Amino acid sequence: MDIQRINPTQRWSDATVYQGLVHFVEVPADLHADMRGQVKQVLAQAEKTLELAGSDKSRLLMTTIYVTNLANVPALNAIWDEWLAPGYAPVRACLKVELVNPDMLVEMAFVAAPK
């Protein structure tokens, strides 16, 4: 089975699709935003990537969330809860990490099923 790579570059692809699963990572574009702003950016970008891959947020299977400060998790959860319709939450892991760019407060890795 072939691997579909969406918008590949030398270092990464916006998403990969293999055996019926969509895999992708999103990071905030505007690193001057606070946690709420960065999470909103990441989730908006995720919706666009899901659309490119023939999916949507109701088809999410797994999300791994990387945060640099556990004090920001309540803000993350507030935006997350607004973003997802009740009953459509994927499996989720949230980890405290040190990200490559110190201005980046959040990074998310997603796995979804296509429509």
Residue 16 maps to a domain: no
Non-local (6+) Cβ contacts of 66 within 8 A are: 95, 97, 99, 106, 107, 108, 109
> In the sheet where 91-96 sits, what is the strand order?
4-6, 15-18, 21-26, 106-112, 60-67, 91-96
Confidence grade of residue 42 (pLDDT, cut at 50, 70, 90): very high
CATH number of 61's domain: 3.30.1330.40
Q: What is the pLDDT of residue 58?
A: 97
**C-alpha distances in angstroms, 108 versus 1, 2, 6, 33?**
27, 25, 17, 16
Q: Give the CA-trace dihedral at 81, 58, 107, 24, to 10 degrees.
A: 180
How much of the chain, in percent, has pLDDT values that exceed 90?
A: 92
- What is the rounded distance in angstroms from the CA atom of residue 13 to the CA atom of residue 32? 25
Q: What is the pLDDT of residue 115?
A: 87
Residue 12 maps to a domain: no
Cα end-to-end distance, the chain, whole Å: 18
User: What's the number of domains the chain is made of?
Assistant: 1
Most confident segment among 9-13, 38-42, 51-55: 38-42
Residue 9 maps to a domain: no
β-bridge partners, 22: 17, 112
Selection from 80, 30, 36 nearest residue 60 by Cα: 80
Residue 5 maps to a domain: no
State pLDDT tens for residues 76-114.
Answer: 999 999 999 999 999 999 999 999 999 999 999 999 999
